[in-house]
Amino acid sequence: MISNIHLSITQASRLASVCISPILLISLLLSSCVQEETYYPNPNIEFKTETGYAFLDTSLLLGDSVLIGIVANTNSNVALTHFHYLIQNDSLITRVDTGIFVNEFNYNKLIVKGVAENETWFFYVRDQSGRKSDTISITFHKNEESIYGGIETISSIILGAQNNTTMGSFYSFSENQVYDIENAFNNQSKINLLCYYDFIDGDENTISSPGASIDNSIYTGSYALSNWTIKNTTRFIYKDNISIAEFDACNNDSLIVYNSFEFITGKRKAKNLSNGDIYAFVTEDGKKGLFKVLNVNETDSGTIEILIKMQD
């Protein structure tokens, strides 16, 4: 009897031990599973300082151009996913965000000095985990000896819509020539503007460029835009702040410079055009200008007539 009692007490003691051990075991396991978090520094960004690049604040004449270069690195186990720059032209601020996915980012940009007395460019990057680099900046001051430049005026360009059988729809700045679709196809690198009537999105009378997103039903056949290998892009911004009188009186590039914009911020289409509309435009290779709509006629078989003033 005593032996049985002793056995029961022993078993109870062992059982109690078994009940406690898993708690301790789990605690030990949890503590062993918690790994120390790896620390990664924020991304790095800096200006390129090789010959040919501007990397210090400087004074420029109006219209002067300088090349800046930027290199950034992730410094972590994830890629850079965000490139941001901000332009402060006196009191006007323009922001541009670009998605990227690289460990090392190289960027070059040609900057043309605008009319602002002080023009500051700010740059930073972020990585996939949200780490942000320092912000670097460079300022360009307008040289007091700056003067405005000359302009080229093209008094009348008539472009036909896609189903016009007598007037071409495509235009080249360099050649000052209107092309039909076949000749435009054979001169793709020269084409900067095109004209069409949009029934699909309600854009109606539209001036755009080969690099825009244009429905494949607009131009069809062997020479359709879908078959082009070179598609130049021109971007546009509607300028309701410019009166017709101001546009007509413009005889140097001051009005153009004051109303120009960073290429990437412009629209790919000047749409729903009507008589008297004024648009600023910038081509992807940096040509800047203004155009005024002189006449809009009919729909997909009609025409649009414009007057262009652009920098020499």
Q: Is 5 a residue whose pLDDT tops 70?
A: no
Q: Are residues 244 and 159 in the same domain?
A: yes
In a domain, 98, yes or no: yes
Q: Is 155 a residue whose pLDDT tops 90?
A: yes
As a whole number, mean pLDDT of residues 261-284 equals: 96
* Total tally of structural domains belonging to the chain: 2
Q: Are residues 134 and 58 in the same domain?
A: yes
Helices (H), 152-277: 181-185, 244-249, 254-258
Q: Is 131 a residue whose pLDDT tops 50?
A: yes
Q: Are residues 277 and 240 in the same domain?
A: yes
Q: Are residues 103 and 187 in the same domain?
A: no
- Domain boundary (142, 168, 198) is at 142
Helices (H), 117-226: 181-185
Determine the pLDDT at residue 22: 58
Positive or negative, the CA dihedral 93, 114, 250, 295 is negative
Determine the pLDDT at residue 92: 85
Q: pLDDT per residue over 58-83, tens digit each? A: 999 998 999 999 999 999 999 999 99
Q: Where residue 100 sits, what CATH number does that domain have?
A: 2.60.40.3880
Q: Percentage of residues in the chain with pLDDT exceeding 70?
A: 88
Q: Are residues 198 and 89 in the same domain?
A: no
Query: DSSP character for 19?
Result: H
Determine the pLDDT at residue 91: 81
Determine the pLDDT at residue 28: 53
Q: pLDDT per residue over 217-233, tens digit each? A: 999 999 999 999 999 99
- Domain boundary (86, 110, 142) is at 142
Q: Are residues 135 and 155 in the same domain?
A: no
In a domain, 30, yes or no: no
Helices then strands, counting H and E runs in the chain, come out as: 4, 17
Q: Which residue shows structure tokens 């429905």?
A: 215
Q: Are residues 177 and 137 in the same domain?
A: no
In a domain, 307, yes or no: yes
- Which domain range does residue 185 map to? 151-311
Per-residue tokens: 76: 């972590």
Vertex 19: Cα angle to 35 and 23 (nearest 5): 15
Write out the H or E segment, with its range, that includes residue 294.
Answer: strand 288-297
Helices (H), the chain: 2-33, 181-185, 244-249, 254-258
